[in-house]
């Protein structure tokens, strides 16, 4: 086994070589994972104490609605200029994306870097958004459907905006 294979399997315990690109904030990632687990566990305990009855099943339409809302919430939190105030302590502006979205990259080291990794990627934030929405759905399905419907409406609006832009560009040649 090579040194790299040895490290990749954990046998070498050399976490500094994990990504060859620099320091990986494992302690920060572990803290974030613990926060997520504590949040969902805390919700489950509170829901049980309050007698919240979980749905026996989640209809496909609600899964689609929750997914659309998680998608849109993550894009708004990660790529929107207006929400940059929340990301700024942990990220820095790296560039301009499509359709007036912004691109941020994490800054700092340790926990600050780990937290910065989260809001610099909509895929990472979508897991947290989905977790929050699922907990909300379990406790207040009607309210959550309404909120998800709002995010869904914004998503459909975005698609229509892109369709309009595409139509204009096609007509202009």
In 50-140, alpha helices (H) = 60-79, 84-87, 110-117, 122-139
Structural domain spans, the chain: 3-172
pLDDT for 55-74, tens place per residue?
899 999 999 999 999 999 99
The Cα angle at residue 118 between residues 113 and 120, in degrees rounded to 5: 90
Query: pLDDT, tens digit, for every residue of 4-41?
Result: 444 444 544 555 567 766 678 999 999 999 999 999 99
The DSSP call for residue 149 is H
Q: Exposed (0-12), middle (13-18) or buried (19+): which is 78, by Cβ within 10 Å?
A: buried
pTM over 0.75: yes
């Amino acid at each position: 086994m090579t040194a790299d294979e040895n490290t990749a399997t954990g046998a070498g315990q050399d976490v500094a070589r994990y990504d060859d690109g620099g320091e990986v904030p494992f302690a920060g990632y572990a803290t974030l994972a613990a926060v997520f687990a504590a949040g969902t566990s805390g919700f489950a305990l509170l829901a049980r104490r309050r007698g919240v009855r979980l749905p026996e099943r989640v209809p496909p339409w609600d899964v689609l609605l929750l997914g659309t809302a998680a998608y849109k919430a993550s894009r708004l939190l990660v790529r929107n200029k207006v929400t940059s105030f929340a990301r700024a302590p942990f990220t820095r502006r790296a560039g301009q994306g499509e359709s007036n979205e912004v691109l941020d990259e994490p800054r700092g080291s340790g926990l600050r870097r780990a937290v910065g990794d989260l809001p610099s990627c909509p895929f990472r934030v979508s897991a947290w958004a989905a977790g929050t929405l699922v907990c909300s759905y379990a406790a207040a399905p009607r309210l959550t459907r309404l909120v998800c419907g709002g995010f869904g409406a914004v998503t459909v609006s975005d698609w229509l905006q892109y369709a309009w832009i595409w139509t204009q560009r096609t007509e202009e040649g």
